[in-house]
Chain A
Amino acid sequence: MIKEENTIIPGPALQILPWVIPALFISLWMIVSETGLIPTYLMPHPFEIAKAGWIYVFANPGDAPFAGRFLDDAGASLIRVAIGFGFAIIFGLPLGIMSGRLSLVQKLISTSINALRAVPGISWLPLAMIWFGIGIKTTVFLVAMAAFFPIYLNAAAGARQINPLLLQAGAMMGVNRLRGTFAILLPGAMPHIITGLRLGLGISWAYLVLGELTGVPNGLGAVIMDARMLGRIDIIVVGIIIIAVMGRAGDQLLKTSLKFCFKSARRMS
């Protein structure tokens, strides 16, 4: 793999670069809190947050409100995201690829899908609650609904923009339709597919919290909602930070595992 060497900034400094903004942000926060510029009932001191976070993650359940709930909440949320995102992939990828290649399929479904796409995800919430009740099903439905569109659209774009000569070259080398799909079409569309999956996973987290705000007993969204009702702003911030970290880690995990599984993901991005 050829990568352009960056000569302006030395290597070790590059490693630090991603952390500059978070570090600046926390410093600023510290200053603001220490000087009392912003009252603590609006934004608690970073140390307070750290303490609340510690209790939430590591303390024994029952010692204090929210103590030790982390594993339970994170686990519940992860399962919901995984199932919803999984459904989005199962429907979004094949439909997208077909719509990108087959004009009949495209004509048949693209208008409807684009109409559905125009509906803000939150409008599905009341309907989903009536259909599925409060709990995992509603959340999974919302996540799947939201993640479907970027996955579908990008897969379609990827399948559409593939160089037709690559498919012709395949046909001339005796590749049948099935093998052509897996050996040429999917790898050729891979950069777009990856974009779609990453966007889809990102939006999954957003709709996860939306689904969990409806009053489920556990999950990261539920924690934030509970904390709001109890006036525990520190726990709200802890929840936000945990979602940010898990979202970032999930994106990294997705990228890494795609690269691990597919040559095309390894070699074309």
Chain B
Amino acid sequence: MKPRLAAISKTSPRIRETILEINNLRKVFRINGSFLTVLDGIDFGVKSGEMICILGRSGCGKTTLLRMLAGFLAPSSGEILLNGKPVAKPGTDRCVVFQEDTLFPWLTVKENIAFGLRGRTTDRKAFDEEAERFLSLVGLSEFRDYLPREISGGMKQRVALARVLILKPEVLLMDEPFASLDAQTREEMQNLLLSLWENLSHTILFVTHDVTEAVTLADRVLVMSKDPGRIREEIHVDLARPRKWEKSDFLFFSRKLHERLRD
């Protein structure tokens, strides 16, 4: 295993290598014989260990973008390079946390978390230890034997997070994962994500329509416009963490993002 997990110190200089490159990406859907350009001229790079939020209103194509990065959808033109290699199909180097509940209902919390690990290791003890480690990382050790239908929405998303973190992906793709949670749970989950990110230094692409969420999480926010979906602006959020929404500099950024979303 590559030493991806080795924590990159938070104090280290922010100049890191670009691991994900998106070049002039375009996606056209054919609907009832007519063509609809959903995304056009998408161009950006993601540096290792960066937390990027893609912010846009519904229908701007942000989910489509994420699905192409995941390899579920092929671009109409343009390219996606991960470590210089084109992305062609889904793989464990780019894991997705979906908005919907996509846990396997016939597996317990622990079995869900360990699902992707099967076949990677034959050492049962190491397998079990790894599963337990990620169970406790997301704070679900006591719920290991519960079934998905027996736990809350927030807990389900914790499981969804743990089952991909355990695979140690290069890039974590998150598609509005906390959108259907209540405000308190969402804040909890954001804090959990930030602490995991600080400990494990993943590269994260986080899609959201929520300005506060974007300012809370992101190093960099890519604001998208609609029809066709483009990246209108890139905003660096250079605030120290933890960020509190009632602070004036936080409000400055959220006001700015609100404006960009509006016009």
Contact = CB atoms under 8 A, between A and B. Distances in A.
Nearest to A268: B106
Contacts, number: 59
A166 B102 contact: yes
Contact of A174 (B100, B104, B116, B147): B116
A267 B105 contact: yes
Interface in A148-171: 163, 165-166, 168-169, 171
A187 interface: yes
A188 B104 CA distance: 8
B104 A187 contact: yes
Contacts of A172: 70-72, 90-92, 94-96, 164
Contacts of B88: none
B245 interface: no
Contacts of A168: 70, 72, 90, 96, 102
B167 interface: yes
Contacts of A110: none
Contacts of A174: 91-92, 116, 119, 167
B98 interface: yes
A264 B148 CA distance: 13
Contacts of B90: 168, 171-172
A190 interface: yes
B119 A179 contact: yes
B98 to A, nearest CB: 6
A190 B106 contact: yes
Report the contact-size class of chain B (Cβ under 8 Å from the partner): 20 to 34
A267 B118 CA distance: 21
B62 interface: no
Contacts of B71: 172
B64 to A, nearest CB: 14
A21 interface: no
A165 B72 CA distance: 10
Contacts of B118: 179, 183
Given A2-B150, A163-B102, A169 B107 contact: no
Contact of B106 (A163, A175, A187): A187
B164 A173 contact: yes
B105 A268 contact: yes
Given A2-B150, A174-B116, A263-B107, A169 B102 contact: yes
Interface in B69-115: 70-72, 89-92, 94-96, 98, 100, 102, 104-107, 115
A95 interface: no
A184 interface: yes
Contact of B98 (A165, A267, A268): A165
B163 interface: yes
A165 B163 contact: no
A230 B72 CA distance: 69
Given A165-B102, A168-B90, A267 B116 contact: no
B70 A165 contact: no
Given A168-B90, A179-B118, 11 more contacts: A165-B102, A168-B102, A171-B90, A172-B164, A173-B95, A173-B163, A174-B91, A174-B116, A183-B115, A183-B118, A268-B106
Interface of A: 2, 163, 165-166, 168-169, 171-175, 179, 183-184, 187-188, 190, 263-264, 267-268
19 contacts: A165-B102, A166-B104, A168-B72, A168-B96, A169-B96, A171-B90, A172-B70, A172-B71, A172-B72, A172-B91, A172-B92, A173-B95, A173-B116, A173-B163, A173-B164, A179-B118, A187-B104, A188-B104, A267-B147
